[in-house]
Chain A
Amino acid sequence: MRNLIKAERFKFLHSSALWIVIAVLFAFCSISILTGVYDSAESALRSISKDIPIPLLGCSVYSAIILLDDFSNGMIKHYIASGYKRAFIMLAKFSHYIFGCCILLFVYPLLCVTFTAIVHGVETSFVLVMQQFIFVYIKSLPLYLGIVSIFFLACILLKNAAVAMAVSVAVSISLVVFSNKLYANNFAILKYSPMIQLDEIAANPISFEYYVAVAAAAFLLGLCLFIGVIKFQNDEF
């Protein structure tokens, strides 16, 4: 397992996929910044923290690139033929993916907020903005990780990068749209869902609903990982 983690670490350090995804997301965000949609770092932070589809779209694209590379180039056969347990292979890939998502979910909004502060300034102080940013990041991270694990599962089940990316993008958009619509139509139970809690992350203090949503996200992450490992253990190459 340690060797597999080292191999994934090597791939992470030598892959530009994550930084390209972040750059593309930042490029789109820059349009909002330069056109004045965000007029201060604080407003950028408030908007970005509610702008859930964008980082999810980034993670869905990232998942297909990073998880299926070894499948498409055949390297996965070498891992298996070398004697590594299939469960460990999947765990190592999942770790790489989740770590990459953590970086993406941190760097993308950081770049946007910082760039907004440079262009439009701050309402209070930059230090306070950064403190608020860190708070939002830490609070939202477990919720995001539960959701992005769905993209991991899509990749392992579908094994085709283009199809997995398309499905993951569709899932991202559907989750946001349907969660909000249903919650607005008095499906109150959705207040415990990661999607709704993400929507309210900047505004609300930590609540019981948040903890339930974190537990639900953790369960979703575990379930996706479990199903992914079982599927991979039974795959033939």
Chain B
Amino acid sequence: MDNTALNITGLTKRYRDFTLDNVSFSVPYGAVVGFVGQNGAGKSTTLKAILGLIKKDTGTISILGSQEQNIDFVIRNKIGVVFDGNDLPERMTPKQLSDFLTNIYISWDKEKYLSMLDKLSLPTNRKIKTFSKGMKMKLAIVAALSQNPELLIMDEPTSGLDPVVRDDILNMILDFVQEEKHSVLISSHITSDLEKIADYIVLIHKGKVIFDKRKDDLTRHYGIIKCDTEQFEAISKEDIINYRKQGNKLDVLISDRNAVQTKYPDIQVVPATIDDIMLFYVKGEMPCET
């Protein structure tokens, strides 16, 4: 029995100049999964395949415990979707938007919608086109949450927003996952936001999933060795994931900083952020086989 909110296996989509290649990962119930990668890595393509906006070439997708052939209108209506916030009818006011969306979503909760608008100080009778970018994004998230989804899929929800608005949005997401059965898949290249809220991190690069790990495993165990060439030569290649040259120095990504610090007590080891880890996987070099 599938006990995940979302399970993707072997997802492949080929374009002329890009291929989403055998992407597999899952979103457990009650979890926030951060889907990270640089621009053009395949994050949006993956989300579009999940949402049925593009046709996949191969692979299977199960949503809320339903296998692909059983994913019907009712299941899809339980997915709340946030694109970039500029996908709402701008000539409407938020109040009109509610009256409109009540026809689209079978579980639309108008009271919840208006209550959240009030809590976020969003005006109800002003046209959406007069809203700032941050206000539009908050409105998009409120709209997604008001359809009472079980799975929230968000594509770059904090991109281009100031820290205060980003914080508001992250808090909304954290409130949402307080419910045991609520799950979130959030794609972003702002890894600092994901460090705050994600339970799992999936890194995608050039259409391939590089890793799918618990965030705590990454932030508590991964580290960076700061060393020179001589020290680098002394490090066993088995301990190295990737390295990057910084002038005369090298930065080396390792997966267990405590073990490495014990093994090489003279070497400086610092914790790695998710940003660092992503940079290493994207731009780093693999150690040569000796």
Contacts and interface: CB of A to CB of B under 8 A. Distances in A.
B73 A78 contact: no
Interface string A10-45: 110011000000000000000000000000000000
Contacts of B51: 77, 80-81
Interface string B38-56: 0000000000100111110
Interface stretch (B81-89, B208-216, B220-228, B243-251): B81-89
A11 B53 contact: no
A5 to B, nearest CB: 9
For chain A, give the interface size range: 20 to 34
Nearest to B87: A74
A3 interface: yes
B185 to A, nearest CB: 13
A80 B89 contact: no
A8 to B, nearest CB: 9
Contacts of A14: 92, 96, 100
B98 to A, nearest CB: 11
B104 A73 contact: no
B99 interface: yes
A84 B186 CA distance: 23
A208 interface: no
B19 interface: no
Interface in B95-110: 96, 99-100, 103-106
Contacts of B86: 73-74
Interface of A: 3-4, 6-7, 10-11, 14-15, 69-70, 73-75, 77-84, 234, 236-237
Given A7-B104, A11-B100, A82-B79, 18 more contacts: A3-B103, A3-B104, A6-B103, A10-B100, A14-B92, A14-B100, A15-B91, A70-B89, A73-B87, A73-B90, A74-B87, A78-B81, A78-B87, A82-B77, A82-B105, A83-B74, A83-B77, A237-B53
